[in-house]
Structure 1
Amino acid sequence: MEKKKSYSPPPKQTGLAREVLKWLQSLDLSFFPKNVRRDFSNGYLVAEIFSWYYPECFSMHSYGNGTSLATKQSNWVQIKTFLLRHNVHLLKEAIDGTMHCKPGAAELLVEEIYTTLTHRRIKSTFTQDVDFTDRDYQQRLPMVARSTASVAIKNNLRLTEVLAEPNIEANQQKVLGIIQRHLQHRREERVQDPKRFNVKPTIGELAIRHLPSSFLTEQNPHTDPLMPTKSAEENDACQPDRRTVVLY
């Protein structure tokens, strides 16, 4: 007698919590997401998930399961219209990051959908400050293997982002932001390990700095602020004995 094969969920490298994986398995989707970042990018699985809870609002024949930018935009426009009409709040950065295959965006979006539809809380691995870049991955690499500025732009600015946003100035601002973050991370690394990078103090850091005049006291602006101040009792002791002299 042939044994019935039992289905086991994908391994933990999908980045989703076990509760979310079991929930996705119970929905009996058209296909189970093996690569979360890739399989959720076009929005087809997201629409299929919502169709189980709102069947009257989702007609799956109007959604395509392709990988082209036009298919992605068409699917996500319909999903965003539904979210707006039914007052369902999902993180906009997570939606855009999922569409453009940003690292960690699809995982966060699926967790938000799970919490919204099931009203259950899970222990999320994401912090409040969401950063859909490769910063965490770069920090795990040795110093010599980390990306340069040009590679950082390639890794953090997808081609679909450029095609979806035809405004040249907006894309230039994104590139400048990536370069500034890259340079900031480099400066932090140099400060954390100055001996490795042979960082020497500048002339300005070695120069003697004088305190500005604003530090002088208002009572006696000519006093040196670096000298220890006297207490009120010491000042009274130094004052001459002022007694009232009565003239007859």
Structure 2
Amino acid sequence: MSGLPREVLKWIQSLDLTWQIKQPKWDLTNGYLIAEIFSWYFPQDIQMHSYNNGTSLDSKQKNWDLLKLFIKRHKLEIPEELIEGTIHCKEGAAPSLCERIYELLTNRKWVSDRVKKQSPEFEVDFTDSAYQMQLPMHARSTASKAIKNNLRVTEIMADPNLILSAQKAQKIINDHIQHRNIERLENPDRFNVKPTVGEKCLRRPPPQPSQPTFEAESTQHTFTGDPSQKPGGEDNPLPMSREPSVQFKEIEVKQLDKSALYNMPIQGY
């Protein structure tokens, strides 16, 4: 039985089910063995003659409709994503469902990578991305192959809404493009990615202006008016000058004697 932890495997074998679970992905998809597991703990609520061990989509839907009513009646906390993923044979959905049922029925806490994904901090992802990352780059799926692997025919048959199917396909394509972009960043030589002009340019930090020192006399200013508009404050800082200070010499100007103007003779009289 691949994909199940040892503790969960021993617990399932102790139930003595009708059929042995070899591949959870295919053996649990119709819900018959899931109903048989619940029948050991709730014999009055689960009647096995009401379930069909068929492989058609109609048999799956009928079995899981009864199981969903049972889960809702007993208020069992099983995410809807686990059930839908198990019905449509998504990667990792059936083992995660078994681990969740093991916790609920045995009251034992089992923590694994798949169970952690069901917590609110993690997004449920039942795609084959983990398997694709293990393959070499030349063997990984293309966009069309990714849609075929992750979008099951039973999903389209169960809900024939064309808009919903197109949205699911578009999400798979977006994830595929995102993974390809990550591959290009991690392996630029393989994809012949050349650096841009901006990446080739040498980036240097901008030069920091030096702080000039002022003499004590130059810092003494008299100002009258609004204090908020005072020069040198935070709003109006004083301009910094790098030129040396210039000293000016005072020039004395002699005043003209006005009495000499009155004593001068006036020409023409």
- CA separation in 1, counterparts of 2:198 and 2:15? 64
Q: Which residue of 1 aligns with 2:219?
A: 241
- CA separation in 2, counterparts of 1:154 and 1:244? 83
Q: Which residue of 2 aligns with 1:117?
A: 105
Q: Which residue of 1 aligns with 2:165?
A: 171
Scaled by the length of structure 2, what TM-score is found?
0.73
Q: Which residue of 2 aligns with 1:199?
A: 193
The letter of the residue matching 1:134 is: D
Alignment partner for residue 76 of structure 1, among 39, 64, 76? 64
Q: Which residue of 1 aligns with 2:93?
A: 105
What are the Cα deviations for residues 117-160 of structure 1, in whole angstroms up to 9, with x where unaligned?
10112241324233200101111111111111111100000000
- CA separation in 1, counterparts of 2:179 and 2:34? 35
- CA separation in 2, counterparts of 1:238 and 1:100? 83
What are the Cα deviations for residues 3-33 of structure 1, in whole angstroms up to 9, with x where unaligned?
xxxxxxx4xxx11111111110111111111
- CA separation in 2, counterparts of 1:228 and 1:48? 76
Q: Which residue of 2 aligns with 1:46?
A: 34
Unaligned runs of 5+ in 1: 1-9, 210-224
The letter of the residue matching 1:135 is: S
Which structure dedicates a bigger proportion of its chain to helix?
1
Q: Which residue of 2 aligns with 1:228?
A: 208
Unaligned runs of 5+ in 2: 224-269
SS in structure 2 at match of 1:34: coil
Larger Rg: 2
TM-superposed CA distance for 1:105, in Å, is 0.4
Higher relative contact order (CA 8 A, sep 6+): 1
- Cα distance, 1:227–1:55 mapped onto 2, change above 3 Å: same
Aligned residues: percent identity?
53
The letter of the residue matching 2:220 is: R
Write the mapping of 1:120-139 to structure 2, written as runs, cut at 5 A.
120-126=108-114, 127-128=116-117, 129=122, 130-139=124-133
- CA separation in 2, counterparts of 1:43 and 1:108? 14
- Cα distance, 1:207–1:169 mapped onto 2, change above 3 Å: farther
Alignment partner for residue 144 of structure 2, among 116, 141, 150? 150
Alignment partner for residue 13 of structure 2, among 13, 20, 25? 25
The letter of the residue matching 1:26 is: S
Runs of 4+ in 1 over 3 A off after TM superposition: 201-209, 234-240
